[in-house]
Amino acid sequence: MRDDAGQFDYIVIGAGSAGAVVAARLSENANNRVLLLEAGGMDNHPGFRLPLLMGAFIKSGIYNWGYETEPEPHLDDRRIPWPRGRVIGGTSTLNGMVYIRGVPSDYDGWGLKGWSWDEVLPFFRKSEGHEDRGDPFHGTAGPLHVGRARGRNPLTQAFVEAGGQAGYPNNDDFNSARQEGFGFYDFTIRNGRRCGTARAFVRPSLSRKNLKLVTRALTTRIVIENGRATDVEYQSGNKLWRARAGRETILSAGAVNSPQILMLSGIGRAADLRGHGITPVLDLPGVGQNLQDHFDCCLVYESTAPVSLYRQLRVDRLAFALVRGLMFGKGAATVFPYEGGAFIRVQPGAEDPDIQIHFMHGREDTARLHGFGLGSGRPNDKHGFTLRVSPLRPESRGAIRLRSADPREAPVINANYLATEYDVQTTILGLRAMRQVVQQPAFDHCRGREIWPGQQVESDAEFRNWLGGAGGTTFHPVGTCTMGTAPDAVVDETLRVRGVEGLRVADASIMPRIVSGNTNAPSIMIGEKAAALISGEPTA
Catalytic residues: 476
Q: Which helix (H) or strand (E) holds 126?
A: helix 117-127
Report the candidate in 522, 507, 535 with the shortest Cα–Cα distance to residue 85.
507
CA 228 to chain centre: 30
Residue 453: asked if its preceding bond is cis (omega within 30°), the reply is yes
- Distance in angstroms (rounded) separating the CA atoms of residues 139 and 134: 7
- Which amino acid belongs to residue 6? G
CA dihedral 192, 193, 195, 199 (to 10 degrees): -140
Backbone φ, ψ for residue 17 (5° rounding): -60, -40
In terms of residues, how long is the chain? 540
Question: What are the DSSP E strand ranges found in 328-480?
Answer: 340-344, 355-360, 384-391, 399-401, 412-414, 447-452, 472-473
Contact 429, 397 (CB under 8 A): no
Q: What is the DSSP letter of 459?
A: S
Phi and psi of 119, rounded to 5°?
A: -85, -25
Q: By the 8 A CB rule, do 45 and 39 touch?
A: no
Going from the C-alpha of 17 to that of each of 9, 444, 455, the distances in angstroms are: 21, 41, 40
Rounded to an integer, what is the distance from CA 6 to the centroid of its chain? 33
- DSSP states of 275-323: HTTPPPSEE-TTTT-SBB--EEEEEEEEESSS-SGGGG-SHHHHHHHHH
What are the strands, taking DSSP E only, across 408-507? 412-414, 447-452, 472-473, 503-505
For 353, the 3-state DSSP assignment is coil
Q: How far, in Å, CA of 340 to CA of 84, rounded?
A: 24
Among 255, 295, 258, residue whose Cα is nearest residue 78 = 295
Contact (CB, 8 A) for 99 and 188: yes
The CA distance from 20 to 522, in Å, is: 14
